[in-house]
Amino acid sequence: MRLESIGMGKLVSFKDLPNGMRYYGRFDQVANASGIGIKCGAMNTPPGKTGLPHFVEHVLCRATRKYTVKEVDLTLRRYLGNGDADWNVRIDRYSTFFGHLMLLKPSHMRICFDIFANMLRDRMIDSQGHATEQSRIHNEYYLRGFDVMEEFLWDQLHEKAYKRNPARHRIDCLPQELQTVSANDLIAFTKKYYVPRNMFMIIMGPRFKVAEKMAYQYFSDWPNRPAPEPDFDPADSEPISGQNVYTIERPGIGQNHVMLGFNAEKFGGCNYYLQKVLAQVLEQLLLEKLQEHKHGVYRSPVMLSQSKYHGLLTVSFATKDTEFVEDGIARITGLCKQMREELVDFEVFKSALYRVFYEYIGPFVNDANELLEMIIDSATNGDEDLTILHSGKQALEKVTREMIRDLANQFLTSEFLTIHIKPV
């Protein structure tokens, strides 16, 4: 289907330093967003040390030889606000990033980038930082994870879906394992993964020559060391098989929380954009099945969890009516069966296709923050040259209803996992 003609502007440019570190840049007069990425995350957790990669991110983001803890705090608060404002220092399953979102002026971006670059150069790991950040992560485990049902569901599904695949690892920590992580463990991890051939930088806003100059200024003297060997055999991807239901009782919650997990393609597969349309179609059709009736739920999001090592498609809902849990699951699986057997309604298909197109093209047009995330996803999951990132429109214009049905037969099958968090 021919999509609307919306100019996406300049593509993202990139080059490599002699030591192998890649730098990305895109001219945008209002972006002023930047950061440094590392191609490692929770998936690189050493055995028995869940939370170690997260711990590294915390400890490094404290001070440098050039800036004290107080100077880092005051300067970054001035431009980025508190930790939930314009910061973009975070870790996920496959990447770690030290950066920020869009700022008002290029000079502000340069000040913040200087701090983050010095953090990664100096790697100030000391006893004070170790004790402080260990406590903070332990609290974060509850505040952002265990006590938040959506996150708890997400973590439980990944853990139950896999036995060997590193996607099973929690991002935040396991408190009992976090306590065993020493400062020497943190130092060893940075020596292995924080090397130029396993890192990249992104500069959004200035012309690419500026990004190139900054790359040479900050990273050209780093030693040329090989990237770490993969911690996992991609062939051992462990697709979900059969039907497994895990019911977990939790006191003090007011609703049943349910998540179904289906197999999906890994990041960058030949159906990368088609799969996004499939997820959007499924979410649109679930509106009537799960929301528009007397037991209607508030939301029923469909999400994709993908890396170069794993792929999951999830459907979730929450309901105060325990008797609706089985009915809700049956409505979802019944809809999946319908999508395997029938062509989706053309208007639904068209709406879903355009939604995915808008989510793709929008960041190039007016959302540098989201484009930054798209670059990080590509850079850390095998699309370092951004071939997939730059080909979204062409791929979407080839999508048909028949392709949606074929993909549903491949993934929306009777092989799925269910997590049910039940109030008691």
Tell me the average pLDDT across 230-253.
85
Clarify whether residues 261 and 162 are in a common domain: no
Clarify whether residues 209 and 247 are in a common domain: no
Does any domain span residue 232?
no
CATH number (domain holding residue 90): 3.30.830.10
Number of separate domains in the chain: 2
Q: How many residues does the chain have?
A: 424
Does any domain span residue 8?
no
pLDDT in tens, 287-322: 999 988 888 899 999 999 999 999 999 999 999 999
Domain boundary (186, 219, 252) is at 219
Does any domain span residue 4?
no
pLDDT in tens, 81-99: 987 889 999 999 999 999 9
Clarify whether residues 82 and 154 are in a common domain: yes
Clarify whether residues 195 and 272 are in a common domain: no
Clarify whether residues 152 and 273 are in a common domain: no
Clarify whether residues 214 and 255 are in a common domain: no
Q: What percent of the chain has pLDDT over 90?
A: 91
pLDDT in tens, 28-71: 989 999 999 999 999 999 999 999 999 999 999 999 999 999 99
Sequence-distant (≥ 6) Cβ neighbours of residue 142 within 8 angstroms: none
Clarify whether residues 182 and 255 are in a common domain: no
Does any domain span residue 1?
no
Clarify whether residues 257 and 113 are in a common domain: no
Clarify whether residues 73 and 178 are in a common domain: yes
Does any domain span residue 137?
yes
**Is it the case that residue 12 has pLDDT exceeding 80?**
yes
Q: What percent of the chain has pLDDT over 70?
A: 99
Give the structural domain span for 378.
243-423
Does any domain span residue 2?
no
Clarify whether residues 178 and 259 are in a common domain: no
Confidence of residue 356 (pLDDT cuts 50, 70, 90): very high
Clarify whether residues 209 and 284 are in a common domain: no
235 backbone φψ class: left, alpha, beta (φ>0; ψ -120 to 50): alpha
